[in-house]
Chain A
């Protein structure tokens, strides 16, 4: 047993052994989990994928005379931002689109520029055009404003992402005879491609499957800067089918995260356009996992063969919310380039970047070794296996006869 405080002490004195999740797999193969748990103090993880539930809060400062953007309307580079808050607080979400974007009118739409792109440009330090209209009050008389803001002249700018870092995810196939454009990319008809979206053995929540060390308050790598876990993410569902050792075999836990956008790096936060689907943002995220005991050495050293995902038809079943899994495959199979779906060999394609995930795990390792990043004790746990949580579906009621 080691405590996080003891591990931090070792980091401060330069004696901590910090390795990436890939390295941990090798070390444990050699030493076994018992010895590995004594030898290794921290295992770093990483993931880099499209995460739609991401966005940024901004306080743009007060103009002279003042304007109450709150309750009015505003856009950043023509992309609408949410302003149902105080006078000059706004929120821009990754999937927001300019009003005049044709979206899927000409199918499949290109979704060239959306909220995620605004955030990337903001983080790069570029000027962002702010246009706001307000109704005017005695204390906030101005009714219209057109100006530029950037990360140097606003007050706060922080990412607040309601759902990041899915613990696991579906593999998308298409059983229909037409090509489909989804958030899982283009999926070819008649089971001709399978798209997956997880870093597998490098993915943060897969390495701590029971949320023993990751909790509310955990300090993380977010978008190239430092961030924190603020809550469980939306749709956090620990109660999915799991392997006997507790590893989830479907999308399970998620994290809500926060972090100062001004210190982030655009190479780890990228506006993205998914053809026929929408605008979103690639988010890079990494979490250090303290190896407090042998069980954590066991979990942090599981490899792609140990992580299973469900193959789901995005042609019919997914859009119609039919909870059908065609089969299970593991990430080693997915990464080999082909999987077998009930007798058919199907080529696989990733949607998230494993090489970026690896880069993040390496970077986080360097930060910890150099002493600039210490580990945190969670202030409260995330809802775990056996908690009351269950996923509610939206049962649509008739407005006239509820």
Chain B
């Protein structure tokens, strides 16, 4: 399974090797999508975890035990292909270039894997082709 979660660390936890142990002890592949690590305040990290269901559950339990707050990313950004007019407006706000212009077809493509669910594109799309879904 593959899931995106938000991990909130307390400010006294950042010296613990949390991410390392997730990989080592629970065989979870993790992909950091966004991180805001502050030494003197609570930190936040958006990660994608991939592994077996069992490893995933154990990994989450471990995180909770160490005192992290876990939130599943409930938002999912989807594009309504029938609505999109390929204007390109969204490409100007998408920092990780999940939305980008294919220079051959001159169509805007959406690489979901790169999306960090920041929702900026949702606000700017002139025809509301991009939407947030709550489907977990």
Contact = CB atoms under 8 A, between A and B. Distances in A.
A273 B87 contact: no
A50 B126 CA distance: 9
Contacts of A280: 126
Given A185-B89, A349-B92, A353-B88, A282 B106 contact: no
Interface string A271-295: 1111100001010000000000000
B128 interface: yes
Contacts of B91: 349
A129 interface: no
A49 B91 CA distance: 16
Interface string B65-107: 0000000000000000000011111011100000001010111
B86 A337 contact: no
A193 B83 CA distance: 25
A274 B107 CA distance: 20
Nearest to B123: A275
Contacts, number: 62
A108 to B, nearest CB: 8
A188 B89 CA distance: 12
Contact of A273 (B85, B106, B107, B126): B126
A137 interface: no
B32 interface: no
A186 B124 contact: yes
Interface string A227-261: 00000000000000000000000000000000000
Given A351-B87, A353-B85, A275 B124 contact: yes
Contacts of A355: 86, 105-107
A68 B107 CA distance: 48
B67 to A, nearest CB: 37
B123 A110 contact: yes
**Interface size class for chain B?**
10 to 19
Contacts of B85: 48, 270, 282, 353, 356
A337 B103 contact: yes
Contact of B89 (A112, A337, A349, A354): A349
A335 interface: yes
B88 A272 contact: no
A195 interface: yes
A150 interface: no
A257 B93 CA distance: 33
B99 to A, nearest CB: 10
A207 interface: no
Interface of A: 48-50, 110, 112, 185-186, 188, 193, 195, 270-275, 280, 282, 335-337, 349-356, 358
11 contacts: A110-B123, A112-B128, A188-B92, A273-B127, A282-B87, A337-B103, A349-B91, A353-B87, A355-B86, A355-B106, A356-B85
Given A272-B126, A351-B88, 7 more contacts: A273-B128, A274-B126, A275-B124, A280-B126, A350-B101, A353-B106, A355-B106
